Amino acid sequence: MRVHVGSDHAGFEVKNRLVEVLRARDHEVVDHGPFEYDASDDYPVYCLRAGEAVAADPDSLGVVVGGSGNGEQMAANKVRGIRAALVWSEQTAQLARQHNDAQVISVGARLHPFDDIVTFVETFLNTPYSGDERHTRRLEMLSRYEASGELPPLSAAGR
């Protein structure tokens, strides 16, 4: 699996360790930076690049890492066509793929032990999208809104 990664200074060390682990597990990892520690770097620089790379490479997935993961998730979600999920447990990593067909996850390096982060990432990478009609319908609503700005009709709510 090709995995695009990016982080900020708070996620720098975890990102680098994660790259090593994923490569050792035969994933093809593309590191979008940062490549050196800079306490004043800006996460959008790296997370937008990781998101853009996933959008351009539909067979890949992405992981962005920050202190909390919040800003990194927001950045990745600004990339057209990308659904990025903040994960904080194995279950949220699984559901991000299974129900939401997320292509990118974001994790908080300051909030979890490294081994847990590895578990979240591997769960995400190994979980397929369910393809259930209800999930597909919801994702199509989001895609239409992203493309046109048009809200789903109220008749679609509460089926």
Please list the active-site residues.
72, 99
**Residue 59: both structure tokens together:** 């067979």
Cis preceding-peptide flag for 152 (omega within 30 of 0)? no
- Among residues 22, 25, 18, the alpha carbon closest in space to that of 69 is found at 18
Contact partners, residue 33, CB within 8 Å, separation at least 6:
6, 7, 45, 46, 49
Q: Which amino acid is at 119?
A: T
**Residue 126: both structure tokens together:** 């190994």
Tokens 């890492």, residue located: 65
- Cα 18 from chain centroid? 14
